[in-house]
Amino acid sequence: MASGLTAQLRVSTEEELHAKLAEAKEELFNLRFQGATGQLESHGRLRAVRKEIARIYTVMRERELGIITLVEESGEPEDLEPEQPAATVAAGDAAGDTEAEETSE
């Protein structure tokens, strides 16, 4: 299940993703600098920012591979499940039975 941030990233454009990535990397740099100088108050924020960067990279890679595409302007999510073929197996079985009957006669 997609979290709120991940869903928000998936509807963002490429430019927005790059801007969010740059912002997150800058924040991570500042947090590391604060940690080195002893001024960091929230150590948990380091982990959260690293995970945010990983989520951004994941969404970018999904788009690159074509796994997830940008949601259309209508705002409706795309169907991510592959379509099932229409009863070709049942039709094949029926044809197989007919051939078996013909050869036994």
| Positions in the chain short of pLDDT 50 | 72-74, 79-92, 94-95, 98, 105
pLDDT number for residue 89:
46
pLDDT number for residue 5:
84
pLDDT number for residue 70:
64
Residue 79: helix, strand or coil by DSSP?
Answer: coil
pLDDT number for residue 84:
47
pTM, to two decimals: 0.62
CB-based contacts of 89: which residues, under 8 Å, 6+ apart?
none
Residue in this structure with the two tokens 């074509």, named with its chain if needed = 66
